[in-house]
Amino acid sequence: MVALPTTMTVFAAMGVMITSAAVVIYPHMKMDELWDPMKLVGQFHNVAVIAISMFTVVVATLAVNIAANVVSPANDFANAFPKWISFRTGGLITGIIGILMRPWRLLADPSGYIFAWLVGYSGGLGSIAGVLIADYWLVRNKRLELPDLYRTKGIYTYSSGWNWRAVVATLLGCALAWGGKILAWFGITVPWLLDLYAYAWFVGFGVAAITHLVLMKAFPPSPVITEAEEA
């Protein structure tokens, strides 16, 4: 509630201020290079400043990639298929997928990176967040059965471990958030769907949250005899 919003605001403001200052200080630079920290560091001439800047970039890259981009998906793969995938294997899978995505192509075009990748990515994250928040706050009234999260049989067993209501809600949120852009790639223009894509996170979040809430109320999961009750 306090740490994340404040730090993200400061980081975003720093990026805006640094890029704005670079427009004045380095007028010879191309507009699509002003937002790239590496290109800005290349304009410095003081060896000490360059060394400190590069060290900071290396530390930041390693910290962000390990904490945010490897640990989370590695855990996701391991938890989704614990019989076949360990945390280490999940990390390797994450690295391979990361290379296959060719992130250097995303960074080559700021417009494509922001409006194609980040906006689209937010639509998927918004759909997932909508299901999680609706389930925790509205369906379960902030109550979790922690032991059942780690049991084969429990209130979260659903259908072979999958809650089809959450899956449907997530897919529907993604469909409305991404539909306009995907159809545009195939030469089909649907104006109102393209308008929704501009607000992908909010559309995905709202649609997924409402759909999950309605489905959970209309088709509540069948009671499951837990391992604790069997014992």
The string of pLDDT tens digits covering residues 115-155 is 788 899 899 999 999 999 999 999 999 998 888 888 888 88
Tell me the two tokens of residue 142: 């902030």
How far apart CA 110 and CA 101 sit, in angstroms, is 16
pLDDT value for 130: 97
3-state secondary structure of 79: helix
3-state secondary structure of 230: helix
Ramachandran assignment for 153, one of left (phi > 0), alpha (psi -120 to 50 degrees), beta (any other): beta
User: What burial class does residue 151 get, using C-beta atoms within 10 Å of its C-beta: 0-12 exposed, 13-18 middle, 19+ buried?
Assistant: middle
**Phi, psi for 162 (deg, rounded to 5):** -115, 130
pLDDT value for 175: 96
* Average pLDDT value for the chain: 88
The string of pLDDT tens digits covering residues 10-25 is 888 888 898 888 889 8
pLDDT value for 71: 87
**Phi, psi for 159 (deg, rounded to 5):** -105, 95
3-state secondary structure of 162: strand
Residue 152: DSSP 8-state: S
How far apart CA 64 and CA 70 sit, in angstroms, is 9
Q: How far is CA 116 from each of CA 119, 152, 184, rounded to the nearest angstrom?
A: 6, 40, 12
Residue 109: DSSP 8-state: -
107's CB contacts (< 8 A; 6+ apart) are 36, 113
3-state secondary structure of 221: coil
Q: Is the pLDDT of residue 59 over 90?
A: no
pLDDT value for 149: 84
pLDDT value for 118: 86
pLDDT value for 225: 63
The string of pLDDT tens digits covering residues 187-215 is 999 999 999 999 999 999 999 999 999 99
Considering the chain, what percentage of its residues have pLDDT values greater than 70?
A: 97
**Which of 127, 209, 133 lies closest to 176, judged by CA?**
127
Which range among 45-54, 60-69, 181-190, 198-207 shows the weakest confidence by mean pLDDT?
60-69
pLDDT value for 37: 82
pLDDT value for 228: 54
Using the structure block, give the residue that is written with the tokens 């979260």.
156
How far apart CA 165 and CA 24 sit, in angstroms, is 53
Q: Is the pLDDT of residue 231 over 60?
A: no
Q: Is the pLDDT of residue 229 over 70?
A: no
Q: Is the pLDDT of residue 56 over 90?
A: no
**Which of 146, 142, 164, 149 lies closest to 219, judged by CA?**
164
Q: Is the pLDDT of residue 31 over 60?
A: yes
**Phi, psi for 160 (deg, rounded to 5):** 55, 35
